[in-house]
Chains A and B, each alone.
Chain A
């Protein structure tokens, strides 16, 4: 593999990273929103969200990507392929993040809520300054874990033609007929990215430990 191939790989890595990054930001916030909505247990919405989570749980990313990219136009929604990729990653990860947030909400101590009420906090102040910071600390390790799953699933977006780290290997080997080295190179870069996330998760776990009462 020459320098050029490495440059192509790094460009692919950048694509993987920014698309995943945007999907993570959307997915984490949407997950929180879903979890908060589910707290309210609004009749029909609750069932729809349950169905959504159940469906996404067993739908492979690659199927979801193809579905969104190929079939939404039939409904008159025109999706740029990068948008389709981000959307499908986000839809997938949001379902898992919602479950993470939900368990953080459910396990939040009732006592702390009472303590907040009794110093005269409003619900919003309580949520913003007491509950949310703790939810973040508790959820961060599983959220980061889910982020590494997202990165590991991201090669699915290659199938709609996004030149991510995985698809770059095809491009290189389509010329050289020597796929082994680009695959190994891509694998190495993935390992570095996910490895950083795993480290991050470890640090977040240590931080969250402080909250263990």
Chain B
């Protein structure tokens, strides 16, 4: 089956081709078992996050203390055991899903939104625009994330949104670099010139033709950033910049259990596993999406 041009009869009406493309992507996605597992886990997590308030009463079961039940090893009543203030870790891990998922996802979206836009501009308009954006990017990436966290949280107050902002901004440089590299490789392709020849405005070219073609490295970067965003919350919460205290965010749970690593390691093992599963789910889905979107790999 030679790679030469398709025989005429396949070039049927344009609508049909576009509709089937999405169907093809979904079909490929369904075919990829890993992606399906990832999607299932994520939907489960989203469900748990939304209905956490229904499942548990925040004050008594999540934030309530009973020192008498301190540091109980995992057993029947407390599947994951209890932490140093007597709170049930199993319920906190489930309840914490909303924070970690929220922080991880939102922070990455913030980073992506800013990063992709600047990256695309830098990649497309070479010369001065690129140099300025890339140098500003180098400057921004020099700021350590903890310093960024201190400033944003103290300037705007400690809240979950500010935490997302702090982590989001520190992930902007990576997105800018990844997008620029992808856009650079795509803009030199012939079809971009062909589009220019049709008189299409540059903004439309970038938005509808260049960025979709750069989606695969961006998707990979999104899934990776979600992982490091969730883990970044634990180092930030060490300095008290994380989610305000009683909230059971996985990163801060890891951090609180830090001094119990030898005596009660289950304090950090279960939040760690929760993070591992979430990160894996996002990456399996991201991987599946990347392969489904990449026409070259569709053979």
Does B bind A?
no
